[in-house]
Every structure is written in C-alpha cells, then in structure tokens.
A and B are shown apart, each in its own frame.
Chain A
Amino acid sequence: MSEVGAVPLAAMPAAAAAERREQWGQLALLLPALLALAALFVYPLLGILFRSVHKTDYTLEFYRHVFRTPVYLTVIWLTFRTAAVVTAICLVIGYPLAYVLARARPRMARLLVIVVVLPFFTSIIVRTYAWMVLLGRNGIVNQYLMDLHLVRAPLALLYNPSGVVIGMTYVLLPFMVLTLASVMRGIDPSLVSAAHSLGASPAQAFRRVYLPLSAPGIAGGALLVFILSLGFFITPALMGGPPDVMIAMLIEREVELTLNWSFASALAVILLVLTLAGYAVYHRVVRLGQLFEGHS
C-alpha cells in the first residue's frame, strides 16, 4: 500500500499492527465461505471416500468388485467411448463457429455469443427434453422425414447411443465454442495475411499458421468437454436405451435402487479420480475459470 511508504519510521510498529489487524479482518471475511465449503463439500466428499474403503472394517472389496465385474468395466468403457465421440463431434462443429465468432465484427460477434450463451445457461433438463420432443418416435424430426417421404417407418433416434450423443453434443457444444473463441480472439489475423502474401494457399495458411496458433483452444476445449462428459447423468439417463449406461447413472442406481452405498461410493471415487486427472492436464492448457470470466 502506498501510504505505508510515507509513514515516518517511528510509526512503523503501529503500521505493522494495523497491517496485522487488516490480515485478521480478511481472514474473518474468508472464513464463512471456507467453513461452508468445508462442511457442505469437503466433508461429504471425505464421507464418500471413507465409505468406499470401510464397511465394518477397512476393505478394498468394493473397488475389487468394480474391476472384476465385466458389466462395470463395460460401463466405464462405454463412458469413455461416448465422451470421446461427443468431444470429436463438438470439435468438428464448434471449430468453424468459434472461428466465425472470433473474426466477426463486434455487432455480429455479440449476436453469436448470445446464440451460444442462451442454451449454455438453460437448464440441462430443458435442453434434453427439447431433443426428446424432436427425436422421439413420433417426434418432430420423424414427422418431417415421413411427410417428405424420406423414410417409410420412423427412425429410432431416441433411447439409443445416437440419441445420447446428439443430446450430449448439444449440451456441451457451448463449452467447446467459448473455449476455442477465447483463444482464437488472441490470434493476430495479420499473421494469416502474411502467410498469404508470402504465397501460401488458404489451406496452407490455415494448416501451417492458424491451426497451430489455435491448438491451445483445441486442447482446452476438447479436454473440458471430455471431462464434463465423463460425469454426465441427466442426458444419457433420459435419451439412452437400457444398455446405454454411463458411470454417473450406475452411481445413481446404486444409491437410489440397490441402496449399495459402499459400492456407489467406490464408483464415485473412481469417477472423481478420472475427472481430477483430466483437470490436472487441463490446468496446464487453460487457466481454470477463464471461461466464465470472459463471458458470463
């Protein structure tokens, strides 16, 4: 603080005391939030961790059960596969939109941000329901396909893996676009122009100049979408068929139906470890929170 510099030497102990008081004041401001999170977030998570290794005594049987039962391994594999497919589709659709968003004039850019942000902040269950209305057996998409005589019988678009992928892509696309656009906005367009003036074709200029410069956005967006996909529950539960089970759905079933809380806890710890590992990688690419700071 600049005022401290102007204080005569004799007053320094007083200044130090004021400084200390100030620090205690700040701690007092922080404490309620820290205590609330400790009680309502950290403690419950530790409870899950404890439950996963302890029933009447410490045991690893619940983890062994996960890794020894083929059905559960299939669920984990399906979760990873779905996450990978959703990530790839989000990237393919999201990259061009983010590119246009980053290079559009301010008015157009604002409009596009609204297009991305409105679904982003709409309740996930509403967004999922919208797709159920569109994709159902008698849904709007099938009505059009039948009316246009493109298909004879309604297509099965819902309650199968493709329904899950469409719904999840819809929910997660804004994360991809916002991450990519925030990186692309920082790319100097004159670099691409320079490549052109040096004789590069549009494809060459893109591949050799723009693509490498946007790579942090690709890595950040893809990681974020992949990590968020791993923990998805609402969309796959409503849009998937009976075999399309993801880890989060398995957790919910074990808690609500089978009441096997220890096993559910072990699954939750596995999901949490996978998620945190993903964020550790993500953190190296994009600073956490940047996404929100830029757009919300």
Chain B
Amino acid sequence: MIAGPGQRTGPGTIAVLAVAAAAVVFLLAPVAIIVIVSFSGADYLSFPPPGLSLRWYRRFLGAAGWRRSLAVSAQVASLTTVFATSLGLAAALALVRGRFRGKGAVYAFLISPMIVPTIITAMGLYFFFARLRMTGSILAMALGHTVLALPVVVIILAATLQGFDRRLELAAWSLGASRLLALRRITLPLIAPGVLSAALFAFLTSFDELLIPLFLSGVEAQTLTVRVWNSLLLEVDPTITAVSSFLIAVTSTVLAASSLLRRPRGAA
C-alpha cells in the first residue's frame, strides 16, 4: 500500500505498518468500546457486555436531572451558534474581501482565543461575570462559548469565502442589483453550505465543552458536560456510558453533515 515502485517490503515498512495499525486501534478502541458498553445489560462495566439492553439510556433520559442538563446544553449551544455564526460571518466577509492594512493582525486576533489555555479564558470570564452577577446564567455560558467558537467559524468561513467566485457578485451588481440584494440572492445561497458547516461546528464546540460552564454554571443550570464531570469525581457510573455515546453520536452527526455539505454539488 505504501511501498512505492522499486521498493522492497522490508522490515522497516512492516514496522511502520504495525505501529500505524496499533495507533488506529488506540484511537478507535476507546470510543467504540464506550458505545458498545453503553448497551450493556449488566450492573458493572465489562467488555464484551454479557447481555444487551437500553437500561443506561433509560437511566439517562428518564432522570429529570439529566434531562434538564440536556436542555441547558442545547440552549447554551444554540445561543452560541447564533452569536458565533453571525459575528463570524460578518467578520469573515470583511476579512476576505476587504483591502485594508493590518488584515493579518485582525485575523490573528480573531482566532487568538484558540491559543489561550481554556482554563485561563474560563477563569477570566468567571471574574468578569461574577462582577456582573451573571454567573449561573445560560446567557453567560453562551457568551463564554462564543469566544471559543468564533475562531472556528472565522477559519471555516474565511476558507469558504476564499473559494467563492467574486465575479458572480460583480455580475449581479452590473445587472443592477443593489449590494444587499446581490448578497442575499447570489452570495449567501452559494456560501450557505459553508455557513451551515461553520454553525454546526460552533454548536459542537459549545455542546462538548466543559471548562467554561464548570466555572460559570451555578447549582441549577448545569450543562451535560458539567454533570458528567461531577458524577466522575464520585464514581464510575455506567449511566455515563450512555451520556458519552450520545455525545459521540452528536459529534459523528456534525462531522457527517459537514462532510456532505462540503461535497461539490452536482446539478444544483
């Protein structure tokens, strides 16, 4: 597979393939095992499970506490998606099309939250919102996650817009369309897949994130990740396998949807 023409399959190649295969197992096994174990019928965690059942999913979705956390996570992530996508789309439009000095610096600034350890961002936001007496609110958590999701949106949309043929918009102008009309009827429909994909990743960034809600959530509004964290500090509860599988399913859905969105469109 990797041996080029005229290359023998020597011991080196075999060693490389063996380590690569081991790495694949290392990457996949934990995720796969958690999903399989989540359907276990046993009281303890063993693999393979002695029998299959949905009991851990019933424990997860049947408990009022977990359901409330799911709702909190969904609200925080939805708000984050709206904030980050609208701010990021506007900024990406200006960044890709604009001709002003310091563009590189502005781009670097917009993605800079990626390089600061999240624990520091979370702590800064905690001090900030504590003074505003906003800790424990869904809005505060969503605003915090917007900081983390904005770089993701800007990177995806800057790449999308770079691939967009600007002449289509210029053609609309020359045919008498106003700036706004051309944006609405030509540009936005054409970049819609990119925008949707950016929105999905913004949602995922928030839905999966623990540290900001860990600092900002109160007793009442706990996200799914905070609830998992709290229960892991106490014991290894098999219900978490069901919660984890649910989160893995959300990730897989987002990845699958965004790869479908990126596929070049046929007849459309």
Residues of A at the B interface (CB closer than 8 Å) are: 3, 23, 26-27, 29-30, 32-34, 36-37, 40-41, 43-45, 47-48, 51, 92-94, 96-97, 99-101, 103-105, 108, 112, 114-119, 121-127, 129-134, 136, 138-140, 143, 170, 173-174, 177, 189, 192-193, 196-197, 202-203, 206, 227, 230-231, 233-234, 238, 248, 251-252, 255, 261, 264-265, 268, 271-272, 275-276, 279, 288-289, 292-293, 296
Q: Is the CB of A30 within 8 A of B106?
A: yes
Find chain B residues with CB under 8 A from A133 CB.
Answer: 33-34, 37, 45, 236, 241
Q: Which residue of A lies closest to B166 (CB)?
A: A1
CB distance from A105 to the nearest CB of B (A): 7
Q: Does B31 contact A (CB under 8 A)?
A: yes
A132 to B37, CA, bound (A): 13
Q: Is the CB of A126 within 8 A of B244?
A: yes
Find chain B residues with CB under 8 A from A114 CB.
Answer: 255
Find chain A residues with CB under 8 A from B164 CB.
Answer: none
Besides A97-B24, A104-B1, 15 new A-B residue pairs in contact (Cβ under 8 A), listed by A number: A23-B98, A32-B87, A40-B147, A45-B124, A114-B255, A121-B255, A123-B247, A140-B33, A173-B26, A174-B27, A202-B7, A202-B8, A202-B10, A231-B120, A292-B155
Q: Does B210 contact A (CB under 8 A)?
A: yes
Q: Is the CB of B252 within 8 A of A118?
A: yes
Q: Known interface pairs A33-B91, A231-B120. Does A26 touch B97 (Cβ–Cβ under 8 Å)?
A: yes
If over half of B's interface residues share one DSSP class (helix, strand or loop), that class is named, otherwise mixed; here it is helix
How many interface residues does chain B have, given as a range? 35 or more
Interchain Cβ contacts within 8 Å, total number = 274
Find chain A residues with CB under 8 A from B86 CB.
Answer: 32
If over half of A's interface residues share one DSSP class (helix, strand or loop), that class is named, otherwise mixed; here it is helix
Find chain B residues with CB under 8 A from A296 CB.
Answer: 152, 155-156, 201, 258
Q: Is the CB of A143 within 8 A of B46?
A: yes
Q: Which residue of A lies closest to B9 (CB)?
A: A202
Q: What are 26 A-to-B residue pairs whose CB atoms are below 8 Å?
A: A33-B87, A33-B150, A40-B125, A41-B112, A93-B26, A97-B23, A99-B2, A115-B28, A118-B28, A121-B254, A122-B31, A122-B247, A123-B207, A123-B225, A134-B33, A140-B46, A170-B27, A173-B26, A192-B7, A193-B5, A193-B7, A202-B13, A255-B215, A268-B120, A272-B117, A288-B108
